[in-house]
Amino acid sequence: MNTTTLVIPKIQKIALLILMLGQFSCNSTQDEGQVLAVANDPDVATWTKLSTNSPRMHSECAMAYDTLNKKIIIYGGRTGFPDFDNVNETWGFDYISSTWTNLHPTNSPPWRSSHSMVYDALRHKVLLFGGNDFIKAYNDLWEYDYSQNTWTKRSTTAPPEARQMPGMVYIPGRDAVIIFGGRRSDGGASFADTWEFNCKTSTWKKLNPTTTPPVTDHVNMAYDKSEKKVILFTEGETWALDFETNNWEKLKIDNQPNSDHSNFVYSDGLEKSILFGNIKGSDTMITWAFNYSENSWTNITPDNFPEVIFYEHEIIEHDALVYLPQPDVIIQYGGCCSDQTLELSFGK
């Protein structure tokens, strides 16, 4: 395997690590990378900037965690701000050795940004769906095999319309992927449809629930394993998808995050969904935890957020979070427009 490796100093004292991989502007100049991490008590949260070397800044890329090979996989996105260039790269992050590696796979999807990725835990493959290349949107589905270091286009039946920025989660008990929403292309119309992809048969099915969340460009979804619900947050509303009734329910919650650029991931250890993003219309970053069983959001934003080096655009937005079951951590990387690595830790 032809690889390029960047060494990152060992991350210490983490019970839960969030590596925020988000929309981040990239240019040819590399700086310290930003990785975030979280630990066991969501009431006590601390963000710490790590001294790391990371891939060049990416914007609107996606990532997923390969639990078999213990690697975070990122693909695609854009680099540079405000003039963006295409990034057709696949990178892997090893948590134990704290290293980023440019994987140089033998085959890759056509370049794109604003796509979504999840991990098929049964087949040990990363699945990629959707995105756009500035000209058109995609509705193809690709899978990445880390052991073979190759991308393969899946042949699927009756896929959804092409779209960018769809919400996407993997459901272990159903051996299926759920997507919601997204939009056709830059400036194009948005969707409010729900689809299920059967990973065994490679077939798509439109679910047609009786109620549905609103049409939106920014969809944040996480799968609550303990409650067996897909949790969706968008435009200040929280929704839950029940597979038994094939219905989205709008949850009545008094206090919710006010964020228009955020991302969402479920923590097995906390049994909560963690949201990281900005206050709507502001560059102030916030961190919230959602507990479905209590139907409540909790603001766990720490008092001190580390100084971040930005490039022109002073906000972390359109990032992606992944959860690592072992050692019970979440990881975030990037954001527009920073390539630094932060750590969010929980606990006393």
Task: Give the pLDDT confidence of 156-201 residue by residue, as tens digits.
Answer: 999 999 999 999 999 999 999 999 999 987 667 899 999 999 999 9
Torsional sign, CA 225, 227, 228, 229: negative
Q: What strand order describes the sheet that includes 150-154?
A: 116-120, 125-129, 141-145, 150-154
Phi and psi at residue 293, to the nearest 5°: -60, -30
Residue 103's pLDDT is: 97
Residue 21's pLDDT is: 37
Averaged pLDDT, 326-345: 72
Residue 9's pLDDT is: 41
Residue 102's pLDDT is: 94
pLDDT at residue 12 tops 60: no
Averaged pLDDT, 114-136: 95
Averaged pLDDT, 92-112: 89
Q: Kindly state the helix (H) or strand (E) to which residue 343 belongs, with its residue range.
A: strand 342-346
Domain assignment of residue 223, given as a range: 4-346
298 vs 20: which has the higher pLDDT = 298
Averaged pLDDT, 238-245: 94
Measure the CA–CA gap between 261 and 234, rounded to whole angstroms: 9
Give 276-307 pLDDT, tens digit per residue.
887 877 777 888 999 999 999 999 888 877 66
Question: For the chain, where are the alpha helices, taking DSSP H only?
Answer: none
253 vs 85: which has the higher pLDDT = 253
Q: How many domains would you assign to the chain?
A: 1
Averaged pLDDT, 333-337: 68
pLDDT at residue 250 tops 90: yes
Greatest mean pLDDT among 42-46, 224-228, 262-266: 224-228
What DSSP state is assigned to residue 271?
T
pLDDT at residue 19 tops 50: no
| Conformation bin of residue 82: beta by default, left when phi > 0, alpha when psi is -120 to 50 | alpha
Structure tokens given for 300: 């766990």
Measure the CA–CA gap between 208 and 206, rounded to whole angstroms: 6
Q: Kindly state the helix (H) or strand (E) to which residue 204 belongs, with its residue range.
A: strand 203-206
CA-nearest of 110, 161, 113 to 139 is: 161
Global pTM reads 0.85
pLDDT at residue 29 tops 50: no
The CATH code of the domain that includes 136 is: 2.120.10.80
Residue 277's pLDDT is: 80
